Amino acid sequence: MHKKKKKKENFKRNIISILTMVVILSTFGIYSINAKNNVKLWSNKIYPEIKVEGINLTNKSEDEAKDILKKEFSDKILNKKLIVRADNKNIEIKYSDLDPKYDIEKAIKEAMSLGKDNNIYFGNKNIKKGINTNIKLDFTYNKEKLKVFEEKLKSTVNKVAKNATLTINNGTPHITDGINGRKINDEQMSKIINDSINGEISEETSVDIPVEEEIPKIKKDDLAKVNGIIGTFSTDFPANQQEGRKKNLEIGSSKLNGKIIAPDETFSFNNTVGERTYKNGFDLGGVFKDNKLVDEVGGGICQVSTTLYRAVMNAGILPTERHNHSFGTSYSKYGLDATVYFGSLDYKFKNTYKSPIYIESYVQNKKVVFNIYGNASEKGNKTYDLVAEDCKTLSNGKIQVTSYFITKQDGKEILKQKIATDVYGKL
């Protein structure tokens, strides 16, 4: 009797357990089906509470989201302007001129994928509770087009500092003071403008660009130190000089006359005189080319460079670049010349004095004349000379010579420096 009762109770418990399991499985099955259907329903929609730059895109399809973001950002940014100010001058930069772009595709792709994984239960949970996140839009623009506006601002604001000027007439100096310039710092300007350009929607923003004062390299006080001739030299040309060559001597000398070289500044003959062309006033004259004498525009200019070379050497300034002719010339001894050819051969020197030097040059009485003015006290009681020695004929018939720079103090030689060993051919 007791066994029958116990068996009956066990059977009842088993039935209850089975029924409970059936209810649980049925409930879970119904939930799974509902979750699966819900996730499927949202498969092409953006989950709740997902925003892009604060714009809520809940339940939006990809195309709907694109349209919303395009209207809110891509269209509106075209109306935005940046006002850039510098020295009370303004330029207006329209965003529409900079090809502004938002990476809407990337943002929507991220929005569409958020909360969606292979687990339907988590997916359904995300749909019910929402995903509270805000996606940022990547913003880009054409920086090359921005440079056009930067250059426009620079051309409007920048003013080159003007050096003080010196003119010498009959040995009397006249000085005109320099003028300070204004200049935008390129790096600062680019950083400020680029940092100010962004994808935030607003009608207008403005920035101020600092402008620096530019001081002239050569000031009135500097030129006041120029008080006398520290080097001079002249070369002759014949009375029956070719007319074009004579014109070239005059043009070349005139381009050098009045040139001021600041302390530590390097002078370039070619950069100062410029290319020898008809447009620049030059004419035909004789030049050495391919081992023969031919007519070429600018012919004769080497007499100008040679005369300047000798005057500068007499002032105690050594060349940083100098070349000899391929053949001897009528106006210079072997080893004491300085040939130039635009684009390849130049004559250069660096002003080693603490004060500026001034070049006076002219053509007069069949002579090319150069006077180098500077601070006479800096030169002191030293004199300088350029000499050619050790001249000899080589086995191939060419002439070899070595030039030396002689320094004297109180008339006594204190230094002898080798300048160059040159070789000349024969026509």
| Whether the predicted pLDDT of 289 surpasses 50 | yes
The predicted-structure confidence for 56-106, as pLDDT tens digits, reads as follows 999 899 999 999 999 998 999 999 999 999 999 999 999 999 999 999 999
Mean per-residue pLDDT for 268-290?
Answer: 90
Inter-residue contact 49 to 117 (CB < 8 Å): no
**Average pLDDT of the chain, as a whole number:** 89
Compare 213 and 39 and report the one with higher pLDDT.
213
Q: What is the pLDDT of residue 293?
A: 77
Domain boundaries, the chain: 143-218, 225-424
Strand ranges for 265-337 from DSSP E: 266-268, 284-289, 292-297, 319-321
Q: What is the pLDDT of residue 25?
A: 44
| Residue owning tokens 């029956």 | 240
Mean per-residue pLDDT for 389-399?
Answer: 93
The predicted-structure confidence for 358-375, as pLDDT tens digits, reads as follows 999 999 999 999 999 999
Q: What is the pLDDT of residue 26?
A: 45
Mean per-residue pLDDT for 149-176?
Answer: 92
* Percent of the chain whose pLDDT exceeds 90: 72
Q: pLDDT class for 292, splitting at 50, 70, 90?
A: confident
Q: pLDDT class for 347, splitting at 50, 70, 90?
A: very high
Q: pLDDT class for 404, splitting at 50, 70, 90?
A: very high
Mean per-residue pLDDT for 243-251?
Answer: 94
Q: At what angle do helices 62-69 and 104-113 cross, to 10 degrees?
A: 140
- Residue 409: strand pairing partners: 382, 412
Global pTM value? 0.68
Mean per-residue pLDDT for 338-347?
Answer: 96
Rounded CA-CA distance 332/325 in Å is 10
Q: Is the dihedral of CA 376, 366, 309, 313 positive or negative?
A: negative
Q: Exposure string (b/e) for 247-264, b if CB count within 10 Å is 16 or more?
A: bbbbbbbebbbeebbbee
In this structure, the number of other CB atoms found within 10 A of the CB of residue 71 comes to 11
Q: What is the pLDDT of residue 10?
A: 60
The predicted-structure confidence for 126-149, as pLDDT tens digits, reads as follows 778 888 899 999 999 999 999 999
Q: pLDDT class for 2, splitting at 50, 70, 90?
A: low
* Percent of the chain whose pLDDT exceeds 70: 89
Q: What is the pLDDT of residue 32?
A: 61
Mean per-residue pLDDT for 38-46?
Answer: 77
The predicted-structure confidence for 109-122, as pLDDT tens digits, reads as follows 998 888 887 677 77
Mean per-residue pLDDT for 403-416?
Answer: 96
Q: What is the pLDDT of residue 228?
A: 93
Q: What is the pLDDT of residue 35?
A: 57
Rounded CA-CA distance 135/111 in Å is 8
